[in-house]
Each structure stands twice: as structure tokens, then as C-alpha cells.
């Protein structure tokens, strides 16, 4: 109530004073005072209480060389707390989230998605390079009771991707209620062979979402049209609150996904230990990168390796929540102890001299919500038309607020951030990138895999409050311009 009143008050102030420096200052102060992070810290001085849930692997059936998967999105019920059933959304037999799809580069895939909810949904394969008709964007509605099929070839390298609904105005809520899952792509990269890769044993998926609960244990959803989006107080990892997991006493890979509506995570390890980042969103980095801290913005993934060979336990921490996951070394499990390879990938840098065309995307508040280049998302409007085969340079800029740029279909490279070349951690393939007020980012992308003059792809802010209040636009890739 208080928060809503303050939000209204702030909006009225805005209207009265206009978009001046004064109003901006008031918003900043109000945000700081009243919309601060409500995160409930998990006390680290007692052991974690619940076993981490691992999303099951979804097995395909083989149909004439096509690997066929089935997903059923339905209303479910999940016990976040013992004896308290919370209504959720889930795919297949899970009580929240969905099974992990494991695809191989070179495979032909068909995924049938049936919608058992009583509202429209779509299923978007975030990070996947596939035809527009299979992308599952806002145009590919699956009405209640209907089944939609995405059919495509897996043409990209090994990576950790994810799937989630993409319905205009309702993405945030469906994802928040639990409609999300991982999609892992494997390939024959020989340097990756020695990495920990036993799913659920030393290769652990970790879908992080923050939640809030009503007194009757329902999920309490809020969508804002101002500020940095809505932060909830309770952290869940794969739907588990305060999790632990027993793992081998060696190297352990974590596939981290920020599946939250708006919140950023700032990860570190306890006892001053370092982690090693091995993959960004679109695949392996060229070399393993030792890090003390790792930030993930909404939609972002990273694969890290942590080492439990000389400790009994290791705690993954977040600045706001404290403990994220307690890993307990179990010496009876078979451990990977081979050192990480020096080289993991051979990413060819896109050369700026290849650029055929440049575009600018300005992120700002528009009307009662957010927009790109002064416009809010319109289903009937194609904002950009790209020539098939082109390499493009896009400049991303925020006039107000923090944003997470995300583009469908392609993986891009960062050319510069505020005039500086990218940090080593930003030198991999990416499909989202975080930037702050007044930041200016240049990215390079190739659009040479699929064209379709009828169905557009989306680009948008992955802070879902922003996406659902207009910060999204559409582009198509065409062969004849
Ligand atoms: Cu993860 Cu357009 O979305
Ligand atoms: Cu996407
Ligand atoms: Cu945004």
C-alpha cells in the first residue's frame, strides 16, 4: 500500500515538475529511500535446510531422424515451504519451472508445446539461432488447449540457453509464476571434454528467481512502470529456498541463469575463493577466466567452475541475499580433478570493417512506461528491416534508467563500452547486455543464418517490467531489400 501510494505520488510529482533535473533527483532519492532492495538475507551461520531440486532432463523420441520433445505448460502446485502449497506454472511433471532440454549441434529438433493454462502463452528459445517461425516470439501465440510446434536445426555451438513465454504484457508474470526452463546445447568441442559434465552431479543447473508470498502462500506478483523494475524478497534456486547440494570433491560446473524479473545478482564465493568463468551466453570463452565476482542481469547466463578438492563445503554468495547455494563435498562421489584446459574455444572477432550498416537504439521512458527510440512496442509495426547476410553495428544508449538489451536469433560481440574495448569477461558471444544510465555500448552482429519477410524477431529490455510496459521493438531479416 505504502509503496503504491509513493509510486503514485512520485508520478504526480513528475507530471507537475516535468522531466527536469529536479524530477530525476527526486526519483533517485525516492528510489533509494522506498524502493530499496527488500532481499531477505539467509543467515550463513547455520547449514542450509533443503536439498536443491534439479530440473529433470527431457528425453526426446526419435522420429525419422528428428529429435522430438513435448512440453506441457500447466497450472501446478509447489511446496516452497513444507506443508504450504503455492500455485505455480510448470512444464510437464515438474511442480515449478520446466525440464531441461539437451540438444546436440547438428540435430534436427521438433518441440511440441501444449498450453494447458487458461491464458495465451508462447514459448521462446532465448539465445537460440533459429528461423523466425520457430522463435516463439509475441506473434506465435498458443491459445489455451492448443499445441504449437517449433522445428529447427541446431546450428550453434555448445551453450546454456533457456526457454520462457513471450506474450505481450504478460511475460513477466508467466516467468515469475514459474514458466521457464533450461535448454543446453552440446557439441564436439574437444577442449571441453575434460570439463565436469555429469548433469545434476558435477554439472549443476541453477535457475535463480526472486519471489514474494501472500499470507495464504500465493505468489505475490507486482509489475512496475518506473525505476529499475520490481525486486522480490525471497531467493529461490530451481524453486528451492535455502538449498544445499552434495557434490564430488573436485571441480563442479554451475550453469547460472538469472531468471528474475528485474533483479541483478552479484555472485562471489565464501572464504575468498575464486570461481572460473568458462562460458558466456552463446558458448565457451576462449580461455577460462578466474573471477572474484560475477554479475548476472535478468536473462543472462554464465557457466562457472568451482573447486571443492580442498574444502568440505563451498558457499555461493550474492551481495543481497547472502547464501545462494551451499555445496558439500562428498568424497564418495567420483570427482573431476583434471585441471581446466588453457583453451576452450576459438572465437573469431567480428571486424568492424565488415559492418554493412549501423543503427542506434535509445532506451528511455515513454508515456506511462518504457520504450526504444521513443516508441513503445506495437505488434503491427516492424521497426527495423535487416538485409540477410549483413553485419551490423548497433549502438545502445540509455537516456534514463538501467537496462538489459536482448536480441533474438543472433549472438553478438561487444565492440566497446563507453569508448573502451570490452573487458575479458565481455569477449564471448552474448545475447543480453546490461547498461546503466548514460552508458553507450557498441555491439557487432551478423544476420546470415535465416530470413523471413513475414515473421519478425524481437529485441527488448530483459528487465521484464520494462519489456511488458513497452520497451520492445521488432525487426525482420529479408533477402530482398
Ligand atoms: Cu528471454 Cu525476448 O527473451
Ligand atoms: Cu530471447
Ligand atoms: Cu530496461
Atom of ligand 1 nearest to the CA of 164: 1
Query: Residue 351: phi, psi to the nearest 5?
Result: -85, 130
- Residue 314's SS3 state is strand
- Residue 386's SS3 state is strand
Q: How many angstroms does the Cα of residue 402 sit away from the middle of ligand 3?
A: 6
Distance CA 192, CA 186 (A): 10
**CB of 111 sitting under 6 A from ligand 1:** no
Query: Residue 22: phi, psi to the nearest 5?
Result: -60, -45
Distances (CA, A) of 22 to 14, 19, 295, 330: 9, 8, 31, 57
For ligand 1, atom 3, the nearest C-alpha belongs to 126
Distances (CA, A) of 168 to 124, 377, 465: 12, 9, 11
**CB of 185 sitting under 6 A from ligand 1:** no
**In the block, residue with C-alpha cell 535463480:** 208
**CB of 168 sitting under 6 A from ligand 1:** no
For ligand 1, atom 1, the nearest C-alpha belongs to 126
Distance CA 98, CA 178 (A): 8
CB atoms under 10 Å from CB of 406, counted, come to 24
CB of 324 closer than 8 Å to CB of 296: no
Q: How many angstroms does the Cα of residue 337 sit away from the middle of ligand 1?
A: 36
Q: Which three cell numbers stand for residue 462?
A: 530483459
Q: What is the pLDDT of residue 44?
A: 76
Distance CA 90, CA 76 (A): 6
**CB of 166 sitting under 6 A from ligand 1:** yes
Could you read off the pLDDT tens digit of each residue along the chain, which spans 481 residues?
556 666 666 676 556 555 555 555 555 555 544 457 999 999 877 899 999 999 999 999 999 999 999 999 999 999 999 889 999 999 999 999 999 999 999 999 999 999 999 999 999 999 999 999 999 999 999 999 999 999 999 999 999 999 999 999 999 999 999 999 999 999 999 999 999 999 999 999 999 999 999 999 999 999 999 999 999 999 999 999 999 999 999 999 999 999 999 999 999 999 899 999 999 999 999 999 999 999 999 999 999 999 999 999 999 999 999 999 999 999 999 999 999 999 999 999 999 999 999 999 999 999 999 999 999 999 999 999 999 999 999 999 999 999 999 999 999 999 999 999 999 989 999 999 999 999 999 999 999 999 999 999 999 999 999 999 999 999 999 998 8
Which ligand is the nearest neighbour of the Cα of 403? 3
- Which residues are CB-contacts of 55 (< 8 A; sequence separation ≥ 6)? 94, 97, 98, 99, 100, 181, 182, 205, 207, 238
Q: What is the pLDDT of residue 17?
A: 53
Q: What is the pLDDT of residue 155?
A: 98
Distance CA 230, CA 93 (A): 29
**CB of 466 sitting under 6 A from ligand 1:** no
Amino acid at each position: 500500500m505504502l509503496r503504491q501510494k509513493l509510486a503514485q505520488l512520485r508520478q504526480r510529482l513528475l507530471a507537475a515538475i516535468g522531466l527536469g533535473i529536479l524530477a530525476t533527483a527526486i526519483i533517485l532519492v525516492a528510489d533509494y529511500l522506498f524502493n530499496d532492495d527488500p532481499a531477505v538475507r539467509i543467515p550463513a551461520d547455520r547449514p542450509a535446510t533443503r536439498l536443491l531440486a534439479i530440473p529433470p532432463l527431457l528425453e526426446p523420441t526419435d522420429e525419422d531422424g528428428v529429435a522430438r520433445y513435448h512440453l506441457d505448460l500447466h497450472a501446478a502446485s509447489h511446496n516452497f515451504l513444507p506443508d504450504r502449497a503455492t500455485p505455480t506454472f510448470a512444464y510437464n511433471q515438474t511442480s515449478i519451472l520446466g525440464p531441461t532440454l539437451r540438444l546436440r549441434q547438428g540435430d534436427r529438433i521438433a518441440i511440441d508445446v501444449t498450453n494447458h493454462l487458461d491464458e495465451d502463452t508462447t514459448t521462446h528459445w532465448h539465445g537460440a539461432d533459429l528461423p523466425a517461425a520457430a522463435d516463439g516470439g509475441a506473434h506465435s501465440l498458443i491459445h489455451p488447449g492448443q499445441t504449437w510446434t517449433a522445428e529447427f536445426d541446431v546450428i550453434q555451438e555448445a551453450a546454456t540457453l533457456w526457454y520462457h513465454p513471450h506474450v505481450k504484457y504478460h511475460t513477466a508474470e508467466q516467468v515469475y509464476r514459474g514458466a521457464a526452463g533450461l535448454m543446453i546445447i552440446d557439441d564436439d568441442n574437444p577442449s571441453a571434454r575434460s570439463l565436469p559434465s555429469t548433469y545434476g552431479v558435477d554439472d549443476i543447473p541453477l535457475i535463480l528467481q526472486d519471489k514474494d508470498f501472500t499470507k495464504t502462500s500465493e505468489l505475490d506478483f507486482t509489475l512496475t512502470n518506473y525505476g529499475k523494475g520490481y525486486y522480490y524478497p525471497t531467493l529461490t534456486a530451481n524453486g528451492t529456498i535455502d538449498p544445499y547440494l552434495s557434490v564430488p570433491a573436485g571441480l563442479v560446473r554451475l550453469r547460472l541463469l538469472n531468471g528474475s524479473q528485474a533483479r541483478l545478482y552479484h555472485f562471489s564465493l565464501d572464504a575468498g575463493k575464486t570461481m572460473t568463468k568458462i562460458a558466456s551466453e552463446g558458448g565457451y570463452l576462449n580461455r577460462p577466466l578466474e573471477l572474484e565476482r560475477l554479475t548476472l542481469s535478468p536473462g543472462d547466463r554464465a557457466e562457472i567452475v568451482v573447486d571443492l578438492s580442498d574444502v568440505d563445503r563451498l558457499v555461493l554468495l550474492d551481495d543481497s541475499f547472502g547464501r545462494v547455494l551451499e555445496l558439500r563435498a562428498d568424497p564418495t562421489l567420483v570427482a573431476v580433478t583434471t585441471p581446466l584446459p588453457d583453451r576452450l574455444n576459438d572465437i573469431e572477432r567480428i571486424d568492424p570493417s565488415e559492418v554493412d550498416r549501423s543503427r542506434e537504439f535509445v532506451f528511455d521512458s515513454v508515456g506511462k512506461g518504457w520504450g526504444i527510440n521513443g516508441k513503445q512496442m506495437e505488434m503491427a509495426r516492424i521497426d527495423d528491416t535487416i538485409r540477410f547476410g549483413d553485419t551490423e553495428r548497433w549502438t545502445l544508449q540509455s537516456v534514463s534508467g538501467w537496462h538489459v538489451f536482448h536480441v533474438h536469433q543472433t549472438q553478438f560481440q561487444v565492440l566497446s563500452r563507453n569508448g573502451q574495448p570490452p573487458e575479458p569477461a565481455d569477449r564471448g558471444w552474448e545475447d543480453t547486455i546490461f547498461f546503466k544510465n548514460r552508458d553507450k555500448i557498441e555491439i557487432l552482429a551478423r544476420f546470415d543464418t535465416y530470413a523471413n519477410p513475414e515473421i519478425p524477431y524481437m529485441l527488448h529490455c530483459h528487465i521484464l517490467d520494462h519489456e511488458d510496459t513497452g520497451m520492445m521493438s521488432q525487426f525482420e531479416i529479408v533477402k530482398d531489400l
